[in-house]
Structure 1
């Protein structure tokens, strides 16, 4: 296996014997490595295989942005969750959970706790996922000096639910791709600068929109419980909120249905993260 791209000292992009591009992690794996060199397989700790047509570069950048200990924590926590239900061995799920936990740990250290919406819905509609999420959260908290809030189980449960979403309908993918392009154009007009689609926060924004499409098509938009969070975010990021309202207009015109206030709140949060990556 040879190095295709180096993301940082611990993460590289390579090609496996089956011809697939894969993300490899391991301490010092990328140190002084250059494209074309052979991978030191003795240093490889984890292999992430992009799924569902995910861009290997985007996934690699996200993996590189997550502390290695949080990647390991997420994978071990998922194993703990499998005591409650069958959880697929998904690269996307592992990375998404690690990214969520890493952000939640950072927020906890800053004293910022979220009240996630849909607790009642998750409790009634996805009891197995919630039980597994609670087991995952218990495992995570047993390894942290500052345990995460119990509400994080709701968000983790939704990650488990989302892991089961898959569609082979290319027209759906085309619709999303065209809309993503339009939304980025709105962002660029609002801020008068270009946004790199390959950044970690752009990837997070796109992932959020993918899940939003699923919620909108199933009539299950985020719809209660985020009032305090909404007020705090809108006050802290007024420009991002104004931009989110513009995105809301585009989405409503394209999808033919109104967005709930909670959906706009999370759009605001993602816009804020892309605009000022140092604050969130």
Structure 2
């Protein structure tokens, strides 16, 4: 494999069987120049990506350590979830991690308004995020808040092969946060994130939205719905008000059977 471009001391672009690849390894470019043969013993990873140009640009602009740290996080994540992530993760996570490190060094911290929801909806990914910020602290001596663990968790989730796209994930999580805030306001209560009822409510709202997005039915028996309306009139009316606000804010209209399920969750919260 011949070197066609040196990106940094640990990354080079090579030509292998007339195909361009990115070779990564400690000191792989040491004392090398264009058209030299790469030392195969130094290569740790080879990337053959649709987005090679973007990765090349990124590697030439960020500190080498940031890419190494991101790759270690990706390797940990894939082992933790037991599967491969979309190849785009090598670009989006590296870009995010590098920017976050530099930003925090400058004393700029971004709050994640969806932190509590992400902790519950994407628990395993958030655990990866917690490992990642601890790893970054050990490697770079940069203290990262849990908000950054949540941002990393979103990237991991959306780069899972069945994870969906980041925009849709953020939209759904924002909708759930808004619904929880509306319910708290209607009931004049504050839900603690550690409360099991809070977890149940968020989990149900997530599945309700997912079912709508995939046109899946979760039909409640009509007699059961009538019973809920009679037995829990206040909670059902509260559910109706929540869906009105939801439609106003996000243009989403939940079907009656979902109102029944939400009413049951609201009644449980009221009793507490």
- When the two structures are superposed, what TM-score results if normalisation uses the length of structure 2? 0.53
User: Counterpart in 2 of 1:220?
Assistant: 172
1:143 has 2:139 as partner? yes
Matches within 5 A, 1:16-35: 16-17=16-17, 20-26=19-25, 27=27, 29=29, 33-34=33-34
Asked whether the equivalents of residues 118 and 173 of structure 2 are also in contact (C-alpha less than 8 Å), the reply is: no
CA contact (8 A) 1:4 1:14 kept: yes
Distance 1:79 1:42, change over 3 A: closer
Instruction: State the Cα deviation string for residues 60-79 of structure 1 (Å, max 9, x = none).
Output: 11122232222222222344
- CA-CA distance at 1:115 after TM superposition: 0.6
Measured after TM superposition, the shift of residue 106 of structure 1 is: 0.8
> How far did residue 81 of structure 1 move?
4.1
* SS state at 1:112 partner: coil
User: Comparing 104-113 with 125-134, which one deviates more in the overlay?
Assistant: 125-134
Q: Deviations over 1:166-219 (max 9, x none)?
A: 79xxxxxxxxxxxxxxxxxxxxxxxxxxxxxxxxxxxxxxxxxx743x458xx5
Greater RCO structure (CA 8 Å; 6+ sep)? 1
- 1:95, CA displacement in angstroms? 3.8
**What is the CA distance between 1:112 and its match in structure 2?**
0.2
Q: Which residue of 2 aligns with 1:5?
A: 5
Distance 1:76 1:103 in 2: 17
Is the CA contact (8 Å cut-off) linking 1:9 and 1:29 kept in structure 2?
A: yes
Alpha-carbon distance, 1:154 to partner: 0.7
Q: Distance in 2 between matches of 1:11 and 1:143?
A: 20
Q: Which residue number corresponds to residue 100 of structure 1? A: 96
Instruction: Assess, with a 3 A threshold, how the Cα gap between structure 1 residues 89 and 22 changes in structure 2: closer, same or farther.
Output: farther
Q: 1:66 to 1:92 in 2, by over 3 A?
A: farther
Distance in 2 between residues matched to 1:165 and 1:94, nearest whole Å: 14
Q: Which structure: greater helix fraction?
A: 2
State whether residues 6 and 30 of structure 1, in contact with CA within 8 Å, keep that contact through their aligned partners in structure 2: no
Task: Say whether the 8 Å CA contact 1:66–1:102 is kept in structure 2.
Answer: yes
2:63 is matched with 67
Query: TM-score, structure 1 length as denominator?
Result: 0.52
Between structure 1 and structure 2, the one with the greater Rg is 2
Q: Unaligned stretches of 5+ in structure 2?
A: 179-248, 251-272
Counterpart position of 1:88 = 84
Matched position secondary structure for 1:142: helix
The Cα offsets for residues 49-103 of structure 1, whole Å up to 9 and x where unpaired, read as 31xxx33122211122232222222222344445643352554323432322221
Q: CA RMSD in A?
A: 3.5
Aligned-partner Cα distance in 2 for 1:9–1:77: 21
The aligned residue for residue 46 of structure 1 is 45
Q: 1:20 to 1:125 in 2, by over 3 A?
A: farther
Report the alpha carbon displacement of residue 105 of structure 1 after superposing the two structures with TM: 1.2
Q: Provide the C-alpha distance between the structure 1 equivalents of 2:79 and 2:40, rounded to a whole number of angstroms.
A: 31
Structure 1 residues 107 and 153, CA gap change in structure 2 (3 angstroms): same
